Amino acid sequence: MDPFNPYFHNIKDYIAGLREKDRAVRVWFSDRPAAAVNSPAESRWPRVLKEDTAVELGGPLSAGTIFFLCTGNVSLIYDGRITLVGADISETRDRILPFGQVVLVAGPTLTKGFTPELENELYAAGKIPGYMLRSTGGHIWSRVSHQAMYDGFSLKLLGQAILQHIYANLAAVSAAEVLFVTSNVGDVQELERIGIPVRNLAHSLRRERIRQATGEAFECESDGDCDACPNSVTNHHL
């Protein structure tokens, strides 16, 4: 059984609803590499100071959400697709944008236990020059440096980097796509309403896996502070 499958349909309906609201929706495609290649990601996390920041995505002064979905049903994925709802970062003078990011992956051999490996790889995919990512409790906060903007950084390129990293490092993934949303705070908040039960499900699966591996129940002891949680992926402070 694929517990995340209903949420794939929710995402499809969400995008259709935004189209009906006349939001700007663009689609690009990322080709699979002909052979396995190293990810373009940096080996160390980039650090972007406030004074070096051209644009902030999400964060405490706006709205931000990040989550992922995985399934064994490849037909639910349009492989290589990158969808952007709203403006790319070079198309606005706003210094702070609301930001939603969803990565969808599929593969016949994917199992419920695959989610932690996927989560770690998705954060690693964000290690690209001039882009600093932090995610706490599903809320994303990113910074894009002035130099990265000058060099042509875009959400299209970020989507390509994420997909290329997945293709290169996750052999079990047969298809993957990425959704970005920057249109407005309300749209990102609506996406977050899909993300909350998705992350709760992922957390429940993680507890189940730990219980099966150790024979003991797992309880979160960080009181909602994911930065303090030893079981979370590495978070990086701005």
Mean pLDDT value of segment 50-67: 94
Question: Using 50, 70 and 90 to split pLDDT, how confident is the model at 221?
Answer: very low
Q: Is the pLDDT of residue 84 over 50?
A: yes
Token representation of residue 50: 């406030």
The pLDDT value given to residue 45: 64
pLDDT digits 0-9 by tens, 136-146: 778 899 999 99
* C-alpha pair distances (Å), 210 with each of 116, 200, 203, 218: 11, 15, 11, 7
**Strand ranges (DSSP E) for the chain?**
25-29, 53-58, 64-71, 81-85, 96-97, 99-106, 131-136, 139-145, 175-181
Strand, helix or coil at 165? helix
Residue 232 lies in a domain: no
Query: Structurally, how many domains does the chain consist of?
Result: 1
Residue 37 lies in a domain: yes
Residue 66 lies in a domain: yes
Q: Is the pLDDT of residue 42 over 70?
A: no
| Cross-strand partners of 179 | 83, 102
Residue 111 lies in a domain: yes
Residue 222 lies in a domain: no
Residue ranges making up the domain that contains 183: 5-214
Place of tokens 């994303």: 140
CA atoms within 13 A on the CB side of 83: 24
The pLDDT value given to residue 110: 82
The pLDDT value given to residue 238: 39
| Domain harbouring 196, CATH code | 3.30.1650.10
The Cα–Cα gap between 179 and 163 comes to 11
| Weakest mean pLDDT among 33-37, 120-124, 130-134, 180-184 | 33-37
Residue 15 lies in a domain: yes
Q: Put the strands of the sheet holding 139-145 in their side by side order.
A: 96-97, 53-58, 139-145, 131-136
The Cα–Cα gap between 226 and 234 comes to 9
Residue 127 lies in a domain: yes
Residue 138 lies in a domain: yes
